[in-house]
A = this chain, B = another copy of it.
Amino acid sequence: MKMSAISLRDIRSFHVGGAAVELTGQPSQDVRVSPDAAPRTVDLNGHYISGQLYAQHFMLENRGSEVPILFWHGGAMTGVTWETTPDDRAGWSQFFLRKGYDVVVSDAVERGRSSWSPYPQIYDSAPLFRTAEDAWYLFRMGEAKDFGQRRPYLGQRFPIESFDQLCAQFVPRWTTNAEASISAYMHLISRFERVIVVAHSQGGWFAQTLAARLPERIAAVVLLEPAGAPNLSKDDLIKAAHVPHYYIWGDNCDSHNAWKTYKSDAILHSETLRDLGGYVEVMDLPKYGIYGNSHMPMMDNNSDEIATMVADWLRRDIH
């Protein structure tokens, strides 16, 4: 199927947030930057920009909404989450461009093009790495024991034959940079009058947090399987309840203890927002007869169908 062209007036990228940090007392090194190049002395003492976030902003020639969509990926991933699917179909960033939204795809602090800082000198801890085995089970491709055979859950919608392409997207992450990430996301949001945030997994945790910090700027948050919910004060919950929340849950959430807990925490959060007068919709897909979605609904074989549900909700109730 030939897709319609996307006409862009501009594509801008930038780093936002972060600050200069100085390192002192580090030893200097002689380094060859290419195998045949002459060595040169590298002095690690000096200034680094730390805590910044990279974003790529696609601006349509003729947009259908004045409110752009900000895409926030999950843990150990980057903005690539929203681009092409692992089996080479157009991802959600293209889908929503074709729906008339300007889109902003960012890498979280310390991930991908946002860069990361020396540890333990600047970051407090060492990075974590995601294995294919961990992702197989945590992202609910199949039972842990079935990784070797790559045997997925019955009716699995993730394109399992492209699982290695998903693993190629994983980046190291830290668990001690939440405040830096929140700060950079606040800077990102503040570049726009109003935004819609579409967030996945750990990004959903950040989005639920930011809803309480900048409710006047966030037209809606769309949460794809958020990794739990922040522990907000009553005052913050009241602020967050001003922002419409749309939750999406895939299948087999009960098959992994982490997801049982994340999901029940996030559902509790969503019910609290609703009790406070918030507008909350929860699309627990299997309850609507949509089975087989993994933790990656933007990559599953019904990714366009789920995106259409989100687009319909936005058009009907938001912008």
Interface residues of A (CB under 8 A from B): 2-3, 5-15, 18, 20, 23, 29, 31-38, 40, 42-49, 52, 54, 56, 61, 75, 78-80, 83-84, 88, 90, 93-94, 107, 112-113, 115-118, 128-129, 131-134, 164-165, 167-173, 175, 178, 202, 205, 227-231, 257-258, 261-262, 265
B88, A14: Cβ atoms closer than 8 Å: yes
CB of A7 within 8 A of CB of B5, answer yes
Contacting pair A47 B131 (CB below 8 A): yes
Q: Are B13 and A83 in contact (CB under 8 A)?
A: yes
- The quantity of this chain's copies bound in the complex is 2
Q: Residues of B contacting A23 with CB < 8 Å?
A: 131
Contact B14–A6 (Cβ < 8 Å)? no
> Is the beta-carbon distance between A205 and B34 smaller than 8 angstroms?
yes
Q: How far is the CB of A98 from chain B (nearest CB, A)?
A: 11
In contact, B131 and A46 (Cβ under 8 angstroms): yes
Given the interface pairs A13-B80, A36-B228, A231-B36, the reply to whether A42 lies near B134 with Cβ below 8 Å is yes
**Minimum CB distance partner of A206 in chain B:** B34
Q: State whether A227 and B167 are in contact (beta carbons under 8 Å apart), knowing that A6-B7, A46-B132, A131-B43 are contacts in the complex.
A: no
| In the complex, residue of chain B having the shortest beta-carbon distance to the beta carbon of A132 | B47
Are A131 and B11 neighbours in the complex by a CB distance under 8 Å? no
Contacts A11-B94, A54-B80, A129-B48 given: A33-B171 contact, CB under 8 Å?
Answer: no
